[in-house]
Amino acid sequence: PMIEGEVVDPEGAPVSGASVHLGSHADGVRTDARGHFKLEVYGEAGVELRASFGGLSGTARATPGTPARIVLSPAARVIGRIVDRQGQVVVATVRVDGRGGEREFRSDAQGHFSGELPTGVWVFTSRLIDGMRAIKVRAPETRVELGRSASSCGLTVEAPGRRLAAG
């Protein structure tokens, strides 16, 4: 089956040349001059689509036979680190959930992870640490540290390292 759809910018204008992928797969397609795309999928279940163009990115859930619309928004670079309660580095997978779907980042030997996310509120969790953090991701960059405190729920960050509120 095929999934067809369009990619538009924050104002709703078609985006020509945007990259569209199924979930975290590297293979994808580019949109045509009218912002349209077609992707072959396996199975009839819904899939997550990701699109990007320049400093914009977006996601949408789609099913074969129903036109998909991906709205791009400014992307922000997220730079993070995972540590345990004693402040020791943790190598783990960080799961990130939000309105734009879900992502995973893997920390390196120093506990650092990084990647791009659409701006908005995202919840960062890892199975190897206690708690979670809700982060307001803003362009161009947001920094987060996971796991240092026993209760790390509700931290909101507006700009790199600037703490707004803690829950």
Q: What digits encode the pLDDT tens for the residues 82-95?
A: 887 777 888 888 88
Beta strands 2-8 and 56-62: pairing type?
Answer: unpaired
Read off the pLDDT band of 6 (50, 70, 90): very high
pLDDT confidence bin for 134, thresholds 50/70/90: low
Residue 156: its pLDDT value, please?
32
pTM of the model: 0.59
Sequential DSSP letters for 31-45: --TTSEEEEE-SSSS
